[in-house]
């Protein structure tokens, strides 16, 4: 699924086309000769950039100073996904062997460690930091209670597992974007299915809730962003179709902007943009496609900026877009 494409996002090249905001270079972090950052996770609090490196280590950089804060040895497991909690205090890591770990920051205390039956496609932490959801490849998604460190629900597996996950802002619901192209909404405490969106023909690779919890925003191989009524699973509308498949979505804290990372479906090594959508006008606001910038991670911060990283073999650059 996007399991394969996610790796390619690292190689995207970017050139400005439409700019409501400018792309600012915030920091350039020099990397030791043997360190290559595969992808990053960025704390929405703006505190850390976590670099998942080819040497099976995770490096945490201070986002404002660019200094290396900590290095975590991942005991040889190749990471497939990483995600911060909204407040940046928890970092969830999922590996190719199915291991899921949650670290508490800045102390780097291991808070939860379990093994799922297969490589982890996606992870997400509820806003109240009580629940974690993990999507193992080809398996049903799992929900874990972080205080008791116990599994509270396991969803029935669609025929090819789940590609993307999102908790509702109140933590009551878990939405999954599944390999059979359906979007499903579950009670996060019981795993009971609330509704299912079965009208989408192609798989979604990304899913987020609107900040008021009323809508789901999804996108993937169909090249559009679908707006779904979370109460009944009906597709209300689709934002303008783009040339490329949608790979990832991030929403600003105020719910007004949506950053969408795209990938060229015909040839993922070719450039594809990051587009910032204005959700009030339902139109693209900023289109980022700049030579020499190969984004490998991005996140909206609480101050409204979109932070992005791009990497090469010698350095990691931190960019910002917005106020």
Residue numbers of the site for other proteins (CB under 8 A)? 1-5, 8, 138, 159-160, 179-181, 200-203, 205, 220-223, 245, 265-269
- Residue 287 CB, nearest distance to other proteins (Å)? 21
- Residue 264 CB, nearest distance to other proteins (Å)? 9
Task: Assess contact for 132 and 119: CB atoms under 8 A.
Answer: no
Neighbours of 88 (CB within 10 A): 20
Task: Assess contact for 77 and 95: CB atoms under 8 A.
Answer: yes
Nearer to other proteins, 25 or 192 (CB): 192
Nearer to other proteins, 125 or 200 (CB): 200
Q: How far is CA 272 from each of CA 19, 202, 268, rounded to the nearest angstrom?
A: 15, 19, 8
Nearer to other proteins, 86 or 203 (CB): 203
**205, containing H or E segment:** strand 204-209
- Residue 179 CB, nearest distance to other proteins (Å)? 5
Take residue 34 and report the two structure tokens written for it.
């043997």
Q: How far is CA 157 from each of CA 79, 92, 150, rounded to the nearest angstrom?
A: 22, 22, 20
Nearer to other proteins, 3 or 285 (CB): 3
Nearer to other proteins, 55 or 138 (CB): 138
- Residue 247 CB, nearest distance to other proteins (Å)? 10
Q: How far is CA 83 from each of CA 24, 179, 227, rounded to the nearest angstrom?
A: 24, 21, 23
- Residue 125 CB, nearest distance to other proteins (Å)? 25
């Amino acid at each position: 699924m996007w399991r394969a494409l996610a790796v390619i996002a690292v190689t995207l090249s970017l050139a400005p086309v439409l700019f409501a905001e400018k792309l600012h270079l915030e920091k350039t972090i020099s990397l030791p000769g043997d360190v290559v950052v595969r992808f990053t996770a960025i704390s929405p609090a703006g505190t850390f950039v976590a670099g998942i490196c080819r040497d099976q280590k995770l490096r945490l950089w201070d986002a404002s100073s660019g200094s290396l804060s900590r290095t975590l040895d991942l005991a040889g497991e190749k990471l497939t996904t990483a995600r911060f909690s909204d407040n940046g205090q928890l970092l969830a890591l999922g590996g190719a062997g199915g291991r899921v770990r949650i670290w508490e920051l800045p102390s780097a205390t291991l808070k939860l460690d379990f093994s799922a039956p297969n490589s982890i496609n996606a992870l997400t932490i509820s806003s109240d930091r009580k629940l974690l959801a993990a999507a193992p490849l080809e398996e049903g998604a799992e929900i874990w209670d972080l205080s008791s460190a116990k599994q509270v629900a396991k969803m029935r597996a669609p025929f090819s597992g789940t590609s993307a996950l999102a908790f509702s802002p109140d933590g009551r619901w878990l939405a999954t974007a599944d390999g059979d192209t359906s979007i499903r909404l579950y009670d996060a405490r019981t795993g009971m299915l609330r509704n299912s969106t079965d009208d989408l023909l192609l798989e979604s690779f990304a899913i987020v809730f609107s900040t008021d919890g009323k809508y789901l925003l999804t996108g993937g191989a169909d090249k559009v962003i679908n707006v779904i009524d979370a109460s009944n699973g009906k597709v209300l509308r689709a934002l303008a179709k783009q040339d490329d498949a949608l790979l990832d979505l991030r929403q600003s804290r105020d719910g007004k902007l949506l950053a969408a990372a795209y990938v060229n479906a015909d040839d993922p090594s070719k450039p594809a943009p990051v587009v910032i959508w204005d959700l009030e006008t339902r139109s693209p606001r900023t289109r980022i496609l700049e030579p020499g910038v190969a984004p490998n991670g991005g996140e909206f911060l609480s101050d409204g900026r979109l932070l992005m990283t791009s990497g090469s073999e010698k350095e990691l650059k931190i960019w910002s877009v917005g106020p």
